[in-house]
Amino acid sequence: MTAPTAHVVGAGIAGLAAAVRLADSGVRTVVHEASNTAGGRCRSFYDKALGLEIDNGNHLLLSGNRAALDYLDRIGSRDLLSAPRAAIFDFADLKSGERWRLRPNDGRAPWWLLDRNRRAPGTTLREYLAAIHILRAPANATLAQAMRCAGPLYERLWRPVLLSALNIEPSDGAASLAAAVIRETLAAGGKACRPLVAARGLSQTFVEPALAFIQRRGGEVVYSDALRAIRFEGAHAVRLEFEAGEAPLGREDYVILAVPPWTARRLVPGLETPDEFRAIVNAHFCIAPPAGQPPVLGVVNGLTQWLFAFPDRLSVTISAGDELIDHPREELVSEVWREVAALTGLASDLPPARIVKEKRATFAATPGQNAKRPGSRTQWANLALAGDWIRTGLPATIEGAVRSGNEAASLALNRASAPNLQVVGALR
């Protein structure tokens, strides 16, 4: 009797998380990837112009991201994350020149708010306590309907933090998603807020160890083999049609579809998904950071939003960057470098640089788009969905992607007690 096979379609973080969970449960895993590399939007690549290995975008984990850290523990790469001993967030105001550190205490009781030296300058205790309105907001409310989106605290804390988390102007974003971020970070205490950076690169930390983990357990990884169609009969998916051939599905076989929402809509009849997206722009500069440069610096009143310092480069992230997608790269990189030079004290001479634009980086985290996110379970008994765009309760983040992969893997494992499953990779 042939052992059942599970096809997880998607070799981004959601698909890899599903595959790792299945492999860790003794499941045979085969990953098929439509492109020639795994990782999706969380990967590294060698840039010839810079002569450096860079990430396609900067991703920051927090110590409270339990699912993502469990994933790294499973694949053996958690120690590749760099982290401070405490929750410390450095900020700079390009307009006023002010600098400050946000320093929450470890416990849930926020006594740090009583010390103005640990808060953003110009903010009051009452402003912080007003954030409780976000936690009580209804599901269809925007952040602007739940709180006042103005004033020193909003501009110096809530806006930069929630802009990066939601990838949308926070006032337009879903208050429920903002609340989820706050509950799992600042409201959980400083132990949940330590910033964790993949200093050696996203692929080396999140992707390559996962692929090795799967292969060590008898799995296989297949690249450049896109899925073109899924055929259904009754309550089951019965066949997967790839560019290179077909894969018939037995009644005990399983499919986990971990692809972008626009691909999922094409493959799955009647599937509703988010259909509005927001861009992220990253700028990478081939220059070593100056001594004492914080590993992560939040920036307000500038084009730059977050400045990451790696041993061999400086990198800038700009969320909700739709207006910059068509901006000439030469002008954009010069504008960003002027700000970076001012923030770091480096010379104004532009070093070798690379702009990376991701036009559809995340779904637009509005209440309306959030309501379009489907769950992992589908109407077909042997098909589940995974991705940061499904209904995870979080914005489109690495943590949400891993949780979605875990959920899809659980559905597969709960349905079939078979010891062998097959996983199929990402589509574009």
Predicted pLDDT at 427? 42
Predicted pLDDT at 247? 87
Integer Cα distance of 382 and 6 in angstroms? 9
The model's pLDDT over 58-82, given as tens digits with 9 standing for 90+, comes to 999 999 999 999 999 999 999 999 9
Cα four-point dihedral sign 255, 260, 265, 267 = negative
Local confidence band at 129 (pLDDT 50, 70, 90 cut-offs): confident
Integer Cα distance of 422 and 314 in angstroms? 40
CA distances from 340 to 315, 317, 327 (A): 9, 12, 19
Integer Cα distance of 103 and 120 in angstroms? 9
The model's pLDDT over 230-256, given as tens digits with 9 standing for 90+, comes to 999 999 999 999 998 898 988 888 899
SS3 101: strand
Cα four-point dihedral sign 120, 121, 127, 133 = negative
Going by C-alpha positions, the residue among 210, 196, 197 that lies closest to residue 37 is 210
Cα four-point dihedral sign 395, 399, 401, 407 = negative
Going by C-alpha positions, the residue among 163, 166, 71, 87 that lies closest to residue 397 is 166
Predicted pLDDT at 422? 52
Residue identified by tokens 């499953």 is 421
| First-to-final CA distance of the chain | 34
Indicate if the pLDDT at residue 375 is higher than 60: yes
The model's pLDDT over 317-358, given as tens digits with 9 standing for 90+, comes to 999 999 999 999 999 999 999 999 999 999 999 999 999 999
Local confidence band at 424 (pLDDT 50, 70, 90 cut-offs): low
Domains of the chain (ranges, CATH numbers): 6-45+203-275+367-415 (3.50.50.60), 46-66+197-201+276-363 (3.90.660.10), 95-193 (no CATH)
**Cβ pair 424, 418 in contact under 8 A:** no
* Other Cβ atoms within 10 Å of 311 Cβ, number: 8
The model's pLDDT over 405-419, given as tens digits with 9 standing for 90+, comes to 999 999 999 875 544
Q: Between helices 66-75 and 398-415, what is the axis angle to 10°?
A: 70
Q: What is the 3-state secondary structure (H, E, C) of 312-347?
A: CEEEEEEECCHHHCCCCHHHHHHHHHHHHHHHHCCC
Predicted pLDDT at 423? 53
The model's pLDDT over 22-40, given as tens digits with 9 standing for 90+, comes to 988 887 778 888 999 999 9
